[in-house]
Each structure stands twice: as structure tokens, then as C-alpha cells.
Amino acid sequence: MTDPAPQREAILTALERLLAWPEISRSPQLGRFLGYIVQRTLEGSEQSIKAYSIAVDVFGRTADFDPQADPIVRVQARRLRGLLDEYYRGPGMGEAMQIHLPVGRYVPEFAAVPEPGEVEAGVEVEQDTRARKPAWPGAWSFSASWFALAMIALGLAMAAYAMTAWRPNGLSQTGALQRPTITIVEFQNLATAMTPQVAGLAIELVTDLEQFGSIGVRYGGGGEANVAVAGLPTSDFVLTGIVRPDGPVVQYSAILTDSVSGAVVWNHTIAVPTSEAAGPDVLDKVSKSLSLVLGSPRGPLHVAARQLLASSAPLDGQINLYLCRVLFDLYRETGSASEAARADACYRALPETDRDSAAVLAATASLLAEQGSVEGGSDVPAGRFRMASANLERAIGLDPISGFVWEQQARLHEAEGQPALARADFSSSVQLNPASVDALAAYARLLAFGGNLAEAEAMALDAARGSPNPPAWYEGVPALLALRDGDFARAIGYAELYAQADRELGPILAIMAAQRSGESDVVNRYLPQVLDVAAFRAKGVLPRLRERIGDDGLMDSIRNALVQAGVPPTALIRSF
């Protein structure tokens, strides 16, 4: 790290550039946070940069602030860290002085980046490597000795499990199914010959999972001695795990146990190259990978609620915020009017205090904008959008660090045909909650259809391959990626899945892939579906698609594919 004293002017100049960057300037809180930690460091007061001082001095928290109960500093630090990395991978790539925020710390680091040829000339300057993304194995791997290791971790989980109260899983005293709660215990390090990063993984997981309003999360302590936390509240589940070397990789193995039965309900192993397991950002990566599953609406924590809602059992007396959110997530999966109606009815049955919460205002705004739901809503799109926008403005005012709220705002702007605003809102959403698979998939789709397929790739694959049972609408970007890579058989498969959710673009992507692979039967199957789309018949195929697609190259490919398939030229440009 560069000594800040001799480089004060360069650092202040770097700070000014960051504060002027739109991604930071539009968030006054993040700007104050960055300015605060940089100024304190330049003053030589690094030791005073703590979560408590940041919360009080920057975010206006009161003197009784508890960093364990209120995650605002951890959340905003992660958001700021991501923006700094994004800036220096993009508009600030060539800047000579860079400011970074290391994982797990609030004290910034300053890196002087050499001009081309400086290193060869003998100038020794520390180089920053954060922008280089290591290649991680794409698949979860399980070793032959998994069962024995699971027994070890299960024994550790029982210590945490013994701290919980015995009661029917997830039920309140009234019998209503409540949001699941999970206690996270530090993973056990079984390595002896090397030192992978382990300590603090539970804190990273707590920070990640706290961003999901549908999960209650508690830190269970632990570490090498598996220290119990006195007075730990009741939890439905306990998450613990082990970390051990396995040849060229280090295995991070997580085990989720049911606190009532003691049964293992889920396990997951992530293989990390040994050279990366000691790196400063490995815990953040492992935590995100696990949170993509645990935080997913289709993850193991929500099985009971989804089973209840899939049954014909009446919900009388059981309606609450959690079940309404699960219904909303089911609507997100299918986009169906019937699921929207169920979620809408659930939200309207809540007490008024719950209906005025940020999450409910945001969800009902989305239902209103997308389906015309919510009692009193207008049937005219412009009127619905105005009402939805007003609700979202209230929601953001109530909870400005909710990734879920920003996601709904992004979807509204996308529906209004404002992709630049939608992109900014999606960026805020995934910065606040980088493991929200719905937000990642929706943001990736916006980017890909807007001509930024390369930027969309990592997010799309995180959502579609890193989470369980992805819905059909996640598969649009993977279809485009397969087309780009010339893997036409896979592109057809993804496009056929996507066609279940998107009757406009899904069949067209299938036709494009089928033409390139010579699968005429696929073209014959989907071409009538394209010509039967009501919006295409009303406006013409290309005018309608232009409302959704900002990528000229993709539009040209679609035009050529449809002409080759035999679509009448007039149908491409006008109603038919």
C-alpha cells in the first residue's frame, strides 16, 4: 500500500474524481462514506475508523448504535467496495492513483499504478490486482470422503443446534408459518499444512443473508473452539461447515441442519484453487456462492412455505408478510396473472402497518405496474406507472438500502422504456444484495438486450447456474451466450426454456439457433408462434422488438433470421 503522506494531493485528486463519478455522486451516503474514510486516513487517524464511528458520523445513527444488530456499515462498505472496483476496471482504469477498500476492513488502501515502462525502468510501485477476476470452478464438487466429513461437521452443528429451542419448525404461537431463521456458526479449519481463509466466513454469510427480508439471520460464534453464544435466540436452522485441503484445491463444505429434527437438509461444497484460498477476497466469494442458494426463493430455507402454498390448504389466519413475499416470489417465477392475483390478495389482507412497509410498497408497486393489480389501480399503463412510482418513492424513503426495493424500481423504469435509469437502479440493487438471483437475472437480461452481453455474462450465469431450479425467464441470456459461442444445440435448449416465459423473444432465439444448426423442425415449430403474438400483429415484429432491444446487432440478426425463415417483409415492419 502506498504511504498516504507524500501522495496526499494525488489521493485527494483521485477522491474528487470518484466523487464526481455518477455511480457514486448520485448516492450522497456513499460519497460521505468514501470521503470520511479517506480524510481520516490522510489525517493519520486510521485507528478511529470503526463501524461505530462510521455509523454515527456518516450515517447519522444514534450513540446506542449496535453494529451486530444494524448492518448498515457492512452493507454500504460492500456496496462502496464494489463500485471502487468497477470504477478502476472501467472509467478509472488508467488513473495513476487508485483508492480501494479491502475486504473485511474500513480503512482504505491507496495504490500508485505505474505508467507503462516504469517498472522496467526500475521504479518499484505496488501494483493493484483487484480487477483481475480469478477463474473459479464452475461446478460444485463433492469428494469421495464427503460422508465422513459430513459427520464431523454434523457434530459441530449439534453444538449450535443444542442452543436452540425445540418447537415446530417456523411456526409462531398462533400456528402461522413465519419467515425461516438461521444461525450461522463459524466453519472449522481442518488444514494443517497451509492456511486457507476461514475465520470470518460466518460473519460474511450473516452480512450477505441479512439482505434478504424473507430470512432471519443470527451469528452463532464458533471458530476453532466452537464457542457457543450465551442466550442465542431460537432458530429453525443451523449452518456450519468445514474447510479442508484436497489436492490442488481447498474444499469449503457447508451443512444446513434442521434444529428440530437434527437432520441434514442441505449440503454444498465449493472447490477453491489452493493458491486463491489464502487470498483476501476468498471469503466474500465463498459467501456469495452459498448465499445464491440459501437466499434463493427456491432454496432450502423456503421449502415449507412453498409446500404450504402449493397445497389446497386455506390460509385463513396464516397470512403474514413472509407468506405474501413467497407468493410474490412465485409470481416472479412465472409472471402469471393468477399468481399476481394471489400475491395481491395476500398483501391487501395484511394489517395497515405492514402494508405501509417498504417491502410491501415495492412489491405492490410492481404488481400494479406489471399486471394492473392492487385495488384502486388504473387500467391505463401511464396511470399505473404514476401510482407505482409514487409507492416506490415512499419505499425508497423508508428503506434506502433495500436491494429488493431498488430492484422493483429498476423493473418499473424498464417497463417505462427508460433503460438508463433501470440500469442505475439494478446496479444499486445488486450492490446492496449481490446474491439476489432475481435481481441478477433481470439486470443481466437488461444489459444483454441493450448490447452489453459480455457485461451481463457473469451475472446471468450466477443466477441461472448458481441457484437451484432457475425459472424459465433466467434462460434468455444463456441462450444469447450460447449463440455467441456457436453452441447452437445448447442455444436451442435454452431458447426453448426461455420461450415458456417470453412468447416474443424465446421463439425467435430458438429459430435463430435452429437455422444455424440446420434444425428445420425447430424453425417450423416456432415460426407459427412468432406470427401469432398479439403485439407483433398489432405493431409489426421489428417495431415491437425495438421497444425491448437496444442492440442494433441483435436486431439485425433477428431481421435476417426471420426473413430467412419466410416471414413476410410487411409483417416485419407493420401490423398484419
> Crossing angle of helices 72-89/28-42, nearest 10°?
90
pLDDT of 130: 35
- Provide the 8-state DSSP code for 227: B
Three cell numbers, residue 30: 456513499
Residues in CB range of 401: below 8 A, 6 or more apart? 72, 75, 76, 432
Nearest to 368 by CA among 341, 401, 405: 341
pLDDT of 223: 44
Distance in angstroms (rounded) separating the CA atoms of residues 260 and 164: 9
Nearest to 288 by CA among 204, 210, 211, 405: 204
The position carrying cell 480501494 is 100
Question: What H or E segment, with its residue span, contains residue 258?
Answer: strand 249-258
pLDDT of 167: 41
Question: What H or E segment, with its residue span, contains residue 16?
Answer: helix 8-20
Three cell numbers, residue 440: 441478477
Q: What topology is assigned to 470-576 in CATH?
A: 1.25.40
DSSP alpha helix (H) spans, 93-217 = 146-161, 201-209
Three cell numbers, residue 571: 409483417
Per the CB < 8 A criterion, the answer to whether 23 and 87 are in contact is: yes
Strands 249-258 and 264-273: antiparallel
Q: What topology is assigned to 146-296 in CATH?
A: Rossmann fold (3.40.50)
Distance in angstroms (rounded) separating the CA atoms of residues 79 and 100: 12
pLDDT of 29: 83
Count CA atoms within 13 Å of residue 206 on its CB side.
23
pLDDT tens per residue across span 277-319:
988 788 989 999 999 999 999 999 999 999 999 987 777 778 9
Per the CB < 8 A criterion, the answer to whether 2 and 110 are in contact is: yes
b/e 310-331 (16+ beta carbons within 10 angstroms → b) = eeeeebeebbbbbbbbbbbbbb
The position carrying cell 410491501 is 360
Count CA atoms within 13 Å of residue 274 on its CB side.
10
Distance in angstroms (rounded) separating the CA atoms of residues 242 and 202: 12
Distance in angstroms (rounded) separating the CA atoms of residues 26 and 219: 33
pLDDT of 2: 61
- The phi, psi pair for 245, rounded to 5°, reads -75, 145
Distance in angstroms (rounded) separating the CA atoms of residues 403 and 409: 10
Per the CB < 8 A criterion, the answer to whether 283 and 313 are in contact is: no
DSSP alpha helix (H) spans, 233-310 = 274-277, 282-294, 303-310
The position carrying cell 463433492 is 142
Distance in angstroms (rounded) separating the CA atoms of residues 69 and 17: 34
Reading the chain (576 residues) residue by residue, the pLDDT tens digits are 566 666 889 999 999 999 999 888 877 888 999 999 999 999 988 888 988 899 899 988 888 887 766 778 888 888 898 889 889 988 998 899 999 998 778 999 999 887 655 544 443 434 443 333 333 433 333 344 455 455 555 554 454 444 443 344 565 544 568 999 999 999 999 988 778 888 888 888 988 998 998 999 988 876 443 334 445 557 899 999 999 999 999 999 999 999 888 899 999 999 999 999 988 788 989 999 999 999 999 999 999 999 999 987 777 778 999 999 999 999 999 999 999 999 999 999 999 999 999 999 999 999 999 987 555 555 678 889 999 999 999 999 999 889 999 999 999 999 999 999 999 999 999 988 999 999 999 999 999 999 999 999 999 999 999 989 999 999 999 999 999 999 999 999 999 999 999 999 999 999 999 999 999 999 999 999 999 999 999 999 999 999 999 999 999 999 999 999 999 999 999 999
Strands 237-246 and 249-258: antiparallel
Beta bridge partners of 182: 217, 237
pLDDT tens per residue across span 245-277:
999 999 999 999 998 888 999 999 999 999 999
Q: Which amino acid is at 565?
A: A
pLDDT of 279: 85
